[in-house]
Amino acid sequence: MSPTPVSFSSPVAPAGYTWEATDEEVSARYGVPLDQVARFDLNTSPAPPDLAVRLLAANAFDRPISEYPPSDYRRLSEAAAARYGVARDQVLVGAGADEILDLIAKAFLPSGGAAVIPTPSYAMYRVDTEQRGAEVRAVPRLGPADGFAMDGPAVRAAARGANVVWLCSPNNPTGLAEPAGAIESLLDGLLEDAAGGTEGPIEPPIVVLDEAYAEFAGSSKVGLMATYPRLIVIRTASKAYALAGLRVGFALAGPDVIARLAPYRPPGSVAIPSVHIVTEALLDDGILAENLERVARERDRLSQGLTGLGWIVRPSVTNFVLVDFGTDARAAAVAEALLAHGLVPRTFGAGHPLAHCLRITIRSAAENDRLLAAAATLDLEEIA
Ligand SMILES: Cc1ncc(COP(=O)(O)O)c(C=O)c1O
């Protein structure tokens, strides 16, 4: 019998979507002390930058927390614009990339519309699409031998008449970026299709390029906004900046597209401490370099260690790796064994194309050591 996944179902989420279990739920269910629960499932970084800790301790933000944040997030938008190489009117601030995804769905996905998702990818694209009452056109990605790349011609075909195409590069949960030129060719094709409509030119779909993990890969496609005016690039402070708890993300797009999104934005969803700390973090060059170096070093060490134990670890340019266990039952059994140690991997439920895999976040050296030690006690041949 396969174990019941550790999850919490919201009564308001679209059918089939569950949130991850909390630390407290894991602790209670597996009898592990709360401080021994380690999150290998959320693709966060294990510790915030010193700069953020200092600013929080100083308790001195741009303005008192008795006030609302500035309605234009001016300094934060300027810092993001400078960091990402765009103009200030090409930036929209949100409470995490997740709020940006929600705003895009509200602005561009009418009920009865359609969105294309190269699958598997980040779960919220489907959730946001379904919440709008729009159709999900899932296009299977190529296999591991092709780096789980999107199937460009199939995505282009599915995009005919669609409102939105959700792209993610590097992709969560597969860990690699799209191959060189793939996104450019897709955008060219979409422009060609829009120009050559049988009843005259039509607007090409909005293309969302979620670059939540771009810093780890060291490259961005934000420059493509110049050739594809309906491109929205998404960035976040949650991953490479190690500030997920502050909930700050950005949409980068042409001023016209930003103006279409802006009316859906709540006036002050990003709290004053978050605005202040992320502004300073974006202006600082050191934070990023330090975390990127740490992640790359630990990713190599963890991948090599697990490979040495016979685990099939897929290559990754991100702060997580995908591990292939061959069968759904074995992946589920390994997840249960890790959970018994308080180590929480990301599982993919029955029916998911990666149900035979687990996704594992690169954590601190000490936490990664705990994972390696737990993995060393498992005999994969014996399991399931
Ligand atoms: C691809 C992708 N986009 C967006 C997010 C959400 O990021 P944020 O914390 O900025 O809401 C995640 C988080 O895991 C992600 O993997």
Query: Does 7 have pLDDT greater than 90?
Result: no
Asked if pLDDT for residue 6 goes beyond 70, the answer is: no
Give the Å distance between the CA of 255 and the centre of ligand 1.
Answer: 23
Residues whose CB is less than 8 angstroms from the CB of residue 273 and which lie 6 or more positions away in sequence, other chains included: 55, 56, 61, 65, 246
For the chain, the domain total comes to 2
In a domain, 120, yes or no: yes
Rounded distance from Cα 97 to ligand 1 centre (Å): 6
CATH code of the domain containing 44: 3.90.1150.10
Identify the domain containing residue 317 by its residue range.
Answer: 7-49+287-376
The dihedral through the CA atoms of 340, 322, 313, 137 has a sign that is positive
- Claim to verify: residue 118 and residue 40 sit in the same structural domain: no
Domain termination residue (choose one: 244, 265, 283): 283
- What CA–CA distances, in Å, run from 208 to 62, 125, 292, 370? 32, 10, 25, 37
- Residue bearing the bigger pLDDT, 181 or 5: 181
Tell whether the model's pLDDT for residue 9 goes beyond 60: no
249 lines ligand 1 (CB under 6 A): yes
The reply to whether 110 falls in a domain is yes
CATH number for the domain including 267? 3.40.640.10
Helix (H, G, I), strand (E, B) or coil at 142: coil
pLDDT digits (tens, 9 = 90+) for 306-362: 999 999 999 999 999 999 999 999 999 999 999 999 999 999 988 999 999 999 999
**Atom 4 of ligand 1, nearest CA residue:** 97
31 and 128 share one domain: no
Last residue of a domain, one of 265, 283, 301: 283
Question: Are residues 323 and 311 in contact, defined by beta-carbon separation less than 8 angstroms?
Answer: yes
- 383 φψ region: left (φ > 0), alpha (ψ -120 to 50), beta (else): beta
In this prediction the pTM is 0.95
Q: Which of the listed residues 267, 283, 299 is the one where a domain comes to its end?
A: 283
Is 315:175 a contact under the CB 8 Å cutoff? yes
Is 134 a member of any domain? yes
Angle subtended at Cα 97 by Cα 94 and Cα 100, rounded to the nearest 5 degrees: 55
| 58 falls within a domain | no
- Do 21 and 75 share a domain, yes or no? no
Ligand 1 centroid vs 188 CA: distance in angstroms? 27
Phi, psi for residue 372 in degrees, rounded to 5: -60, -40
